[in-house]
Amino acid sequence: MALLLSGKRILLGISGGIAAYKSADLIRRLKERGAEVRVIQTDAACEFITPLTLQALSGHPVANSLLDPAAEAAMGHIELAKWADLLLIAPASADLIARLAHGLANDLLSTCVLATDAPVAVAPAMNQQMYKNIATKHNIDTLKTRNFYIWGPAAGEQACGDVGMGRMLEPLQLVDLVLEHFAPKVLPLEGVSLVITAGPTREPIDPVRYISNHSSGKMGFALAEAAVQLGAQVTLIAGPVQLATPAGVKRIDVVTADQMYQVALEQAISAHIFIGCAAVADYKVAQVATQKLKKTSDDSTSLTLVKNPDIIAAVAALTSQRPFTVGFAAETQDVANYARQKLVKKKLDLICANDVSLSNQGFNSEQNALTVFWADGEQQFGLQAKTELAQQLLLLINERYLHEKSH
């Protein structure tokens, strides 16, 4: 039977501190769960627990010196850093944490931290006053900003007789955190398929002219990218925009509202959620000229426009295989009111009201702010990068979708 940590390679870094004796038990517990463990000790750690003990428990020679030709010949420090799936430092002394925060590479362990692309978890262990020291706090915060995991410390009685925060977590607590780290993650949108429309549509007047709008596609593309990152399967129906396709997204390019309508209805019936973020032209030219229109001597001219099909209303009106349908409402005045009216008129499940009268959000901006309305609720999202907004909005959409599905 495969154990929970079978095949996982854990490089255990041990720095100097009384808690180093617990590392022996930690190695045993990790190995019991199937992990392969190799150990690096700092010089100070060797004063607290012998390399021989750790070698016996891990089944491998313990690495200590950066300048040991024999050790480098066996498994050099770069190889060791590359070998690890996780670099766990337990105990991590205040001194080691300070060196890591400064990016030093003045012994084997700190060098491996710089040389690895594996996640690094740090289990602090030190006197409570040292832990409270602003310098240590600052160093730990620095490591957090570099995506180090900080596991612990715990509070309690310390070897020196003090009581407070600074005890290393117990080996079994660290093992639980290692298990959690390696547990397969279920993403919130896993198993959910989305169709998203983005960008403008372009309605031809003649072979060289068209009617369109300022939509850049950024909001819709940000939604597509975030949805994939959250685990969804995404089909992006894009009007004419200059944006790269986000990784993992199936993209279908269209130009006119009629084309978007056709593709959207084909795709919508196999989606759980449909998001109409595109700025679809409400009207198209009744008769597209086959040749370039010539300027006449008249001071004015006119075009006859006819309505385009309403894509999102058609999706929302599907009687079978209807996806949870989310619209956007781009408004320049009375935003909430008009958005609510569109929610009802188009029979949508949710609408994202977008005030496009402001120059720093909406059309062709990197940022956006939205108020989302549904039948009996609303939620505001403040001005922020479209990429971040997309993540938050999708979590709300998914929450509402799951709510509807369960009723």
Catalytic positions are 160
Q: Applying CB under 6 A, does 124 fall inside the site for ligand PMT?
A: no
Minimal distance, residue 248 CB to ligand PMT, in Å: 20
Amino acid code (one letter) for 285: V
Q: Applying CB under 6 A, does 363 fall inside the site for ligand PMT?
A: yes
State the burial class of residue 221 (Cβ atoms within 10 Å of its Cβ: 0-12, 13-18, 19+): buried
Q: Applying CB under 6 A, does 235 fall inside the site for ligand PMT?
A: no
When binding is defined by CB under 6 A, the residue of 93, 110, 267, 308 that contacts ligand PMT is 308
SS3 305: strand
Closer to ligand PMT by Cβ: residue 106 or 332? 332
When binding is defined by CB under 6 A, the residue of 11, 115, 174, 219 that contacts ligand PMT is 219
Cα–Cα distances (Å) from 72 to 15, 67, 76, 151, in that order, read 20, 8, 4, 30
Place of tokens 């949710």: 350
Strand boundaries in 308-359, DSSP class E? 324-331, 350-355
Closer to ligand PMT by Cβ: residue 91 or 276? 276
- State how far Cα 75 lies from the chain centre: 35
Minimal distance, residue 266 CB to ligand PMT, in Å: 15
Minimal distance, residue 322 CB to ligand PMT, in Å: 15
**Are 256 and 279 spatial neighbours (Cβ–Cβ below 8 Å)?**
no
Minimal distance, residue 342 CB to ligand PMT, in Å: 5
Asked whether residue 292 is marked as a ligand-binding residue, the answer is: yes
Residues 6+ apart with CB under 8 A from 184: none
Site string for ligand PMT, 54-93 (x = CB under 6 A): ----------------------------------------
Q: Applying CB under 6 A, does 310 fall inside the site for ligand PMT?
A: yes
Note if the bond before 153 is cis, omega within 30 degrees: yes
**Are 292 and 206 spatial neighbours (Cβ–Cβ below 8 Å)?**
yes
Q: Applying CB under 6 A, does 280 fall inside the site for ligand PMT?
A: yes
Looking at the DSSP bridge assignments, the partners of residue 92 are 124
Q: Applying CB under 6 A, does 20 fall inside the site for ligand PMT?
A: no
Closer to ligand PMT by Cβ: residue 167 or 400? 400
Amino acid code (one letter) for 260: M
Q: How far, in Å, CA of 391 to CA of 387, rounded?
A: 7
User: Running DSSP on this structure, what letter comes out for residue 293?
Assistant: P
Q: Applying CB under 6 A, does 277 fall inside the site for ligand PMT?
A: yes
Residues found near ligand PMT in the complex (CB under 6 A): 197, 199, 215-220, 257, 276-280, 282, 308, 310-312, 327-330, 342, 354, 356, 362-364
The annotation places the binding site for CTP at 276-278, 282, 292, 309-312, 328, 342, 346
The annotation places the binding site at 276-278, 282, 292, 309-312, 328, 342, 346
